[in-house]
Amino acid sequence: MSGELSPIDKAKFVAAKRAVDFVEDGMRVGLGTGSTAAWMVRCLGELVREEGLQIKGVPTSNRTAELAADVGIEVISLDEAKWLDLTIDGADEFDSDLNLIKGGGGALLQEKIVATASDQMIVIADSAKEVAQLGAFPLPVEVIPFGWQTSKALLEETLINLDVLGSDSTLRMNGDAPFVTDEGNYIIDLHLTRIGNARQTALVLNQIPGVVENGLFIDICDIVVVGHGDGRVEVRDINAGTLEEDKIDFLESENLFSDF
């Protein structure tokens, strides 16, 4: 079945498969949102069902909660967990300092809350997500619906004075209606092309009235697991300054593909 996956999906799968090696019995684990994170949840579910792994998962979105429950992971809220041992999530972009852009799936607020309530954050990604400088992927900014057009105008005005290349913004849509997050908010995507100072940008954007949170994750990620279409995996630890290489055998995990 693995032969039916595209190289990108294979890369996402092997990154997810390698990342779950960090999960130990009894842990409270933050469960990310998105296509790569979905592979991770399925891999954890396999360990729960077939190897008796006992964990409690805190999902970062309603759809992740549903998937986790479907594959047999015990789901609890962050309030119940209070603090997490680690969070595993995807990213839309990451740089050499493991700073991220997240929120392409619309769950950036819960993702950032869960990640910062964890002892460790592990990001899983295919190699295409690595960039020399953040900004090619549109930066999501979650805003409350009240006065969103004013918030959008303030965002564009603020960008003029920041070290970014572009200043256009668009309201994210879901068909003919605005996309609505799990918290009932809207998302404005900023098309910046290049972000020169990600830390400053993140701080300034969050000062704008109406802005709830932005998709820049600065100094939050500890480890990135990068997957490749041929099964190769790189594990980069920003704190230890290490780089490990591994390879995942698809044949060992054909049962994970049974639903596809």
Catalytic residues: 111
Rounded CA separation 176/208 (Å)? 27
Q: How many CA atoms lie within 13 A of 246 on its CB side?
A: 20
DSSP-derived 3-state class of residue 110: helix
Concatenating the DSSP letter of every residue in 233-254 gives: EEEEETTTTEEEEEE--GGGGG
Known binding-site residues for substrate equal 33-36, 89-92, 102-105, 129
Tracing tokens 């309530």 back to the chain, one arrives at: 117
Q: Residues at the annotated binding site?
A: 33-36, 89-92, 102-105, 129
CB 164 within 8 A of CB 222: no
Q: CA distances (Å), 125 to each of 70, 179, 183, 228, in order?
A: 23, 25, 26, 9
**Helical (H) or strand (E) element with 108:** helix 108-116
